[in-house]
Amino acid sequence: MKRVIISSTGNKAFICPSCTNKTLYCIDHDVMRNTDVDYHDTFICDECGAELISEPQFDGSIKFVYMTDASTDIQFIECADLGRFQIPRWQVSELIKQIHDDIYSTASELLQTEDYGYDLNDISDMLFCDVKSTGGGRIHVELRAELSYDYMFELCQVCNEAITKYDEKAYFDIVDPGISEAFVDIKTASRNIYYRKH
């Protein structure tokens, strides 16, 4: 499993409620003691990859809840570099839908060109785009098409132009014949889509 924790000697480890290992770390900022934990900081387990949100208690203890169990009224904490802010679930869902629609329409338009020659009925049977949120604050985009390697490579190149408007570092990589994937950082995508030119 790929490690996503920010290495720091000042980052205190907490017990993960998912795997019970003391490998749960805050990824928003360094935490040396319980009082450093803010409401709805994001924590990720370095062992099992669980992503949780903190809810400090009056007695000084920290309660950790899964992202899907947290309250829906998460508020943005705005700052100049957007280094620390929570993203409401509705916004993540909106990003997922927007990325899906952009990638699918971009791929579909290419497949309808003269070089490919597919019509919409053919495309609906041979083109698939699956977009979902994964652990570590990323969105996984899987693009599948019944194409040769060369055509699939060209499809990825064209779709890269669409996906980089969300995350400049995102790109499609062919992982199996006819299957490519890309990973989009949620915070970067939110910044680029919702904060650009505002």
Q: Domains, the chain, ranges and CATH?
A: 1-71 (no CATH), 89-195 (3.30.1240)
* pTM of the full structure: 0.58
CA dist., res. 154 & res. 116, Å (int) = 11
Q: What is the dihedral of CA 48, 53, 54, 55, to 10 degrees?
A: -130
Query: What's phi and psi for 12, nearest 5 deg?
Result: -70, 140
With vertex at residue 5, the alpha carbon angle to CA 2 and CA 7, rounded to the nearest 5 degrees, is 120
Q: What is the mean pLDDT of residues 2-8?
A: 42
State the burial class of residue 120 (Cβ atoms within 10 Å of its Cβ: 0-12, 13-18, 19+): exposed
pLDDT exceeds cutoff 60 at 122 = yes
Q: What is the mean pLDDT of residues 131-139?
A: 83
pLDDT exceeds cutoff 70 at 197 = no
